Amino acid sequence: MSEAPSQSAFPARAPHPSPTGQVLTCTESKNLLIEQWTLNEASESAGLLNGNGLNALLLVQEGSLECRHNRCGSPVRMASGDYIVVTGADQLHEVTGAATVVRCLFHGDVEHERFPETRRNVGALSVSNVFADRPRIVTVCETRFVRFDVVTSLGHASPGGRECDSSSHEWLLMLKGDTVFTIEGTEYPLTAGDTIYLPPGVPNGVRDTNVESGTVWMAVFYRGAIGDFDWQPRAAEASASTDPLADGRKMSAAARRLKAFRELQG
């Protein structure tokens, strides 16, 4: 097997000090910024988990923390694997604890927009069975610029060993277990904590995942020019859609966010 490929589009950057500890930029484009924050009990909470009016998805990779939400009086407790999505005027404060937190800042309207399907070259026509055991893919949230998926797999692999590519950028974070990832036919072993970046148009697939403990990773698909993140919040794009399911999808997105928030409280 080969070593993990270098992420040439995003050169490695050393963590830089901040009022809250250390920050490492993992991936950056005009519409998405992913950072890894390392906190300790002495870290200050100023500006930590807030997006300055932008959307933010916050995932505790290791450790635990506690904070308060501006619209909820009770504390929000988060442990390894917990996540929350905050948007616009949402604010988290009084952050305490020791944890490694992945902060994803992104543009778009979480309530109304959907990320376009980008998978291509899925191979020859094949028959699938609705009762077959498949990886579990949950879309945490999405806008027209970005989509966050959490994939849970137990010994699954790409059908027929085929690779496919995407018209969008893709960034993966291994959260649990291990897998053998393929990129243009070359195998790369990945374990919990590893990340990988895939430019648009690069064929890739999954050859194997851990059968005993299962494998969980977060896949982030995003559009937009590579470069510095745009820190200016943008107005939602007007939509003239007549899709009769649009309101149902909007309610579904809101319900998912509320459910995740309540689960974090419980």
The pLDDT of residue 141: 93
Q: Which residues make up the CATH 2.60.120.10 domain(s) of the chain?
A: 16-108+255-265, 119-222
Has residue 54 got a pLDDT over 60?
A: yes
Q: How many other C-beta atoms lie within 10 A of the C-beta of residue 27?
A: 22
The pLDDT of residue 215: 86
Distance CA 223, CA 30 (A): 9
Judging by beta carbons within 10 Å of its beta carbon (0-12, 13-18, 19+), is residue 91 exposed, middle or buried? middle
Specify the DSSP class assigned to residue 2. P
- The model's confidence at residue 131, banded by pLDDT at 50, 70 and 90, is low
Round the average pLDDT of the chain to a whole number and report it: 75
Distance CA 105, CA 22 (A): 17
Has residue 133 got a pLDDT over 50?
A: yes
- The model's confidence at residue 51, banded by pLDDT at 50, 70 and 90, is low
> 215, 209 in Cβ contact below 8 A?
yes
Of the chain, the percentage scoring pLDDT greater than 90 comes to 22
Distance CA 84, CA 60 (A): 9
> 166, 172 in Cβ contact below 8 A?
no
The CATH T-level fold of domain 119-222 is: Jelly Rolls (2.60.120)
The pLDDT of residue 48: 58
The superfamily CATH assigns to domain 16-108+255-265 is Jelly Rolls (2.60.120.10)
Mean pLDDT of 64-91: 83
